[in-house]
């Protein structure tokens, strides 16, 4: 396509190109979105094809001209140099656990954490760490392997029983539950810290921005701490016994509220993906809890 006089739309918007649909560069989808980058969804061949499509379809000189004056600012995230290591935090990271806000990891480092990556799927033991961070992902697709890795499941349970800090969100909560029923209705044992079963049937989409207020002191901060995040999951959790403490008061975008954030000893489990940049003190609090 050729580029002549720049087209304009609306309040000064300038069109620099458009990408036509090409099947060769589409990314595979499944429930909750795309096949993750770690699973090879974006291959070298697709990258090459996509680059060629962009070069053919977009006025790159015009795009760079428009982008030149833009200054990228990091709001709410401190720019201070990282502190000396105060605690080692084991971050679960593999095909089953791969959904993390980069800001969260950056803020943990800036608060003095040394991040140690490990795999609940394939490792045979926990790394030597002071705390654990279990993020989101697709544990339902790897439930059989997670359940079969009894050594690591037991190690995580012992870690929790010893009172060492654990923060688990969404997929991490699913892993710390009693059991996980997968998409085919098969039941798989999980860590067993949270006395309830997670089920993938029937699918119920939960999708919302969420504000969290801590109702009790926790590894993420004292009572009264406020932060924001989101929920995005198809799984559902069987009723949790009232004897399990609820550390969160959740307020969703539409105004409905409920108690959540299951606290068992020094472990905090929730379906909410918190964005630590909404309250960077949460990262500091977690590192301090691990340091203690």
**Nearest by Cα to 245 from 222, 267, 212:** 267
Q: pTM score, two decimals?
A: 0.78
Boundaries of domain holding 59: 21-67
Question: Is there a domain that residue 82 lies in?
Answer: no
What does the pLDDT look like over 43-76, one tens digit per residue? Answer: 888 888 889 989 999 999 888 888 876 555 554 4
- The reply to whether 170 belongs to the active site is yes
Residue 5 lies in a domain: no
Whether 80 maps to a domain, the answer reads no
Judgement on whether residues 30 and 101 belong to the same structural domain of the protein:
no
Pick from 232, 267, 226: nearest CA to 248: 226
Question: Is 258 part of a structural domain of the chain?
Answer: yes
Mean pLDDT, range 8-25, rounded to an integer: 78
Question: Do 198 and 246 reside in the same domain of the chain?
Answer: yes
Name the active-site residue from 106, 134, 170, 274: 170
CATH number at residue 144: 3.40.50.880
User: Distance between CA 115 and CA 174 in Å, rounded?
Assistant: 22
pLDDT tens-digit series, residues 162-221: 999 999 999 999 999 999 999 889 999 999 999 999 998 877 777 789 999 999 999 999
Mark whether 130 and 200 lie in a shared domain. yes
Structural domain count of the chain = 2
> Is the domain of 92 the same as that of 185?
yes
Q: CA angle 60-65-72, nearest 5°?
A: 105
List, for residues 79-123, the tens digit of each pLDDT value.
Answer: 455 556 899 999 999 999 999 999 999 999 999 999 999 999 999
- Partnered with residue 270 across adjacent β-strands are 169
Cα–Cα nearest to 179, from 153, 151, 213 = 153
DSSP 136-164: EE-GGGGHHHHHH-HHHHHHHHHHHHTT-
């Amino acid at each position: 396509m050729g580029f002549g006089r720049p087209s304009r739309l609306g309040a000064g918007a300038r069109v620099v190109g458009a990408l036509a649909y090409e099947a060769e560069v589409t990314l595979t989808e499944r429930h909750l979105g795309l096949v993750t980058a770690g699973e090879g969804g974006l291959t070298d061949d697709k990258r090459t094809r996509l680059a060629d499509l962009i070069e053919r379809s977009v006025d790159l000189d015009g795009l760079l001209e428009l982008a030149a004056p833009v200054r990228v600012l990091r709001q709410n995230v401190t720019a201070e140099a990282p502190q000396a290591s105060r605690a080692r935090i084991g971050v679960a990271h593999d095909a089953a656990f791969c959904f993390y806000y980069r800001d969260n990891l950056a803020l943990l480092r800036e608060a003095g954490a040394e991040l140690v990556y490990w795999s609940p799927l394939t490792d045979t033991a926990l790394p030597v760490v002071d705390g654990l961070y279990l993020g989101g992902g697709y544990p339902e697709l790897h439930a059989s392997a997670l359940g079969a890795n009894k050594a690591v499941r037991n190690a995580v349970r012992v870690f929790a029983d010893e009172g060492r800090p654990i923060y688990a969100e969404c997929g991490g909560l699913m892993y710390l539950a009693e059991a996980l029923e997968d998409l085919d209705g098969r039941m798989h044992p999980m860590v067993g810290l949270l006395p309830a079963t997670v089920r993938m049937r029937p699918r119920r989409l939960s999708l919302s921005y969420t504000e969290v207020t801590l109702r009790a002191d926790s590894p993420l901060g004292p009572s009264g701490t406020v932060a924001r995040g989101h929920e995005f999951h198809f799984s559902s959790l069987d009723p949790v016994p009232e004897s399990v403490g609820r550390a969160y008061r959740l307020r969703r975008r539409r105004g409905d509220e409920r108690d959540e954030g299951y606290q068992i000893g020094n472990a905090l489990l929730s379906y909410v993906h918190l964005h630590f940049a909404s309250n960077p003190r949460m990262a500091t609090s977690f590192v301090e809890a691990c340091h203690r």
